Amino acid sequence: MNRFIEGAQIYLRAITAEDATDEYLSWINDPETTRGLATGAFPSTIEDLKKYIAEVSNGRKAIMLAICDTHNNTHIGNIKLDQFDWINRTCELGLLLGNKTYWGKGIGTEVCRLTLHHAFTKLNLRKVVLAVYANNPGAIKLYERIGFKHEGCLRKQIFCDGEYIDKYYMGIFSEELTR
Ligand SMILES: CC(C)(COP(=O)(O)OP(=O)(O)OC[C@H]1O[C@@H](n2cnc3c(N)ncnc32)[C@H](O)[C@@H]1OP(=O)(O)O)[C@@H](O)C(=O)NCCC(=O)NCCS
């Protein structure tokens, strides 16, 4: 499979129907992984996964990239840009590192930087925004580190593990992206 964006620890390539594997399915059925995501309340099946991949890779409404380990080509997660607004030149970013053995190694940081660079230098976007839950300190730390700023908060918006938690909105302009 062609590498679309090359990094140090990982590379990014187009996601395909063949990526709808039991391994990927296990990520989105894992409560520890989905507590930071909008999924997880309902069980997902391989058919759901295939449908989702087909939807996001059909046309130019989103760019969903598989995150792969440079050394062994293992598919370890996905990053997505969607909600493109070509008038205001903005989009939204979503990130999932499904293989937990890869957490805490700077891969999320590397993947975000590469994808934001693509958004700003190839897609000619001006600003990228995202939503993150208050119970996800690792994600918040990585987004702050690469230059995202806190822009808003929906108080007690998300029901997670028996309690209501805040949902933050963060944004980054091209000139704010750190190296
Ligand atoms: C959130 C996620 C993308 C982070 O990816 P990652 O590769 O582990 O992130 P990085 O290693 O680049 O950076 C995370 C930082 O947060 C730190 N961290 C992790 N858990 C933490 C915690 N509970 N409290 C404080 N800091 C924490 C890490 O140590 C690291 O900091 P460091 O580099 O200074 O050591 C990944 O865990 C993931 O995909 N989780 C499941 C889905 C998800 O929550 N996606 C984000 C939705 S907004």
Residue whose CA is closest, atom 47 of ligand 1?
36
Structure confidence at residue 67 as a pLDDT band (50, 70, 90)? very high
d(CA 59, ligand 1 centre) in Å: 31
Domain parsing of the chain, residue ranges: 5-126
- Which ligand 1 atom lies nearest to the CA of residue 100? 37
Structure confidence at residue 179 as a pLDDT band (50, 70, 90)? confident
C-alpha distance from residue 73 to each of 2, 139, 159 (Å): 11, 24, 36
CB neighbour list of residue 68: distance below 8 Å, 6 or more residues apart? 10, 11, 12, 13, 74, 75, 76
- Mean pLDDT, the chain, rounded, equals 96
Question: What pLDDT digit, counting tens, does each position of 22-47 carry?
Answer: 999 999 999 999 999 999 899 999 99
Burial class (CB in 10 A: 0-12, 13-18, 19+), 122: exposed
Percent of the chain whose pLDDT exceeds 70: 99
Q: Which CATH number fits domain 5-126: 3.40.50.920, 3.40.50.300, 3.40.50.1370, 3.40.630.30?
A: 3.40.630.30
